[in-house]
Amino acid sequence: MSAPSHPHARDNGLPAVGTGTRSLDLRYLERPPAEHQRPYFPFVADHLREVLDRPGASLLDIGCANGAFLHHLADRHPDVRLAGIDALPALVEHAARHVPGAGFAVGDVGRAETLPARRYSAVTLLTLHSHFDSPDPWLDHVLDLVEPGGRALLFGPFNPHPVDVLVRLRQADGEGGGTWLPGWNVHSRAAFADRLTARGLRHRFHDYQPPASVPHAPHDPLSTRRATLDGAPVLTNGAGVLLPFALLEISV
C-alpha cells in the first residue's frame, strides 16, 4: 500500500514516509493460504462473529496478501461474501488461485479511486496499519467502505502508552536488498482513539495475548517471537522492537 511521500524522506536513503508497499511481502507467494494460518486468526474471527452471522453479510480484507485470512473465514462462514484487495498484483493473483471462494482485486488503501465502490458488513486490516507513518491518508477510506451498522477491525501493534513510534529496519546482511523497510510502526491507542472520537465513532480495543508458543523461523531475524512489556506478553523480532498487538474494533 502507498501514501503521499514526504519531501525529505529520501535524504538518508530512507523510504518515502508513509509508504506501505514492500517487496518483502512477496515472500507470501511461497506460503499457500491453507498452510499459513496465523495464531491470531481465530482471535480476530471471534470478534467478527456477530456481524458475519447476519444474513447477506460481506467482508473485505485490505492488504490480503496471500489470502490466508479469507481462507480461514471461508471455513467458518461459508455464506459470507468474501473479498480481498492488495497493492501487489502478484499477491492478488496468488490469492485468487488459492482461495477460489473469494473475490480479489488490486487496490491501495491510500488511493480512494482504487478501492471498491460498494460497502461491506466488515472491513479488516491485519498487521497493515503499522506500515504507515500516520492514519490520516487512509483511515477515512477504510471507514467509507463499511456499511452502516458494520465494523472495521484493525489488528496489529498499538502502544498502550500515549507515544507514537516510527520504525525503519534494514538487515545488515544484505537480505531485503539492504534497503530500509517500513512495517513495524507502533502507533498509540490514543492516536486512533482521538481520531475516532472526533468522528463520533464508537470503538474499543481488545487485548491480544500471544500463544505460549509462537512459531517463528530462526533463520529469519524479522520473524516474530514472544517478549514482555510491563509484565504482559507481547511480540518482538530481531530488531528488538516490542510489538504490543491488539484489535481495534470500530462501529460505523
- Residue 25 pLDDT: 65
- Residue 3 pLDDT: 36
- Residues of the chain with pLDDT > 90, as a percent, come to 65
Is 17 contained in some domain?
no
Beta bridge partners of 155: 126, 247
Q: Give the pLDDT means over successive 10-residue stretches in the chain (252 positions).
A: 33 39 61 78 97 97 95 94 95 92 95 96 97 96 98 97 94 76 94 98 96 76 86 89 96 96
Query: In 3D, which of 90, 74, 108, 72 has the Cα closest to residue 27?
Result: 90
Is 10 contained in some domain?
no
pLDDT digits (tens, 9 = 90+) for 201-223: 999 999 999 988 777 666 788 88
- Residue 28 pLDDT: 62
Domain around 62: 23-251
Is 14 contained in some domain?
no
Is 13 contained in some domain?
no
Is 170 contained in some domain?
yes
Is 236 contained in some domain?
yes
- Please give the Cα distance from 212 to 229 (Å, whole number): 15
Residue with cell 467482508: 59
Query: In 3D, which of 102, 103, 101, 106 has the Cα closest to residue 90?
Result: 106
Total number of domains constituting the chain: 1
pTM score > 0.85 for this model? yes
Q: What is the CATH number of the domain that holds 61?
A: 3.40.50.150
Is 9 contained in some domain?
no
- Residue 18 pLDDT: 40
- Residue 222 pLDDT: 84
CB atoms near residue 212 (< 10 Å) = 7
- Phi, psi (rounded to 5 degrees) for 144: -70, -15
- Residue 243 pLDDT: 94
Is 36 contained in some domain?
yes
